[in-house]
Amino acid sequence: MFLVSTIILITFIISSAVMIVASLVSKKTCIDREKSSPFECGFDPNGSARIPFSLRFFLIAVIFLIFDVEITLLLPLAAIMDFSNITNYISTGLLFLLILLFGLYLEWHSGALEWSN
């Protein structure tokens, strides 16, 4: 028990010393206004560096992620085809695909998939 506590103490001391030395060495001594600006090519930006984010793009990206994850849930159906009953396999696969298609229809009908109005 003494050996384990000694090893833990030595590890803590070494890691603390490394963190302290790294924080002291990594301090910047001169702060340059040009290097801290979003543009480092020597001129002042005309407008804001932040542009507004498109909410439509975000919605399309979220829909893509949802359908991408659901497709990865469909992939194991091919692997278990030999091990399961064919009626259970077909009913499970069709039910899952119908739920996916119904969700796609709802997104399409609500206009979420149209890029511009």
Q: What is the token pair recorded at 16?
A: 């603390």
Are the CB atoms for 96 and 73 separated by under 8 Å? Answer: yes
* Its pTM surpasses 0.85: no
Q: What is the DSSP letter of 27?
A: -
Of all residues in the chain, what percent carry a pLDDT higher than 70? 76
Least confident of 23-27, 48-52, 74-78: 48-52
pLDDT digits (tens, 9 = 90+) for 20-39: 998 888 866 666 666 666 65
92-117 pLDDT, tens digit each: 888 988 988 898 888 888 887 777 65
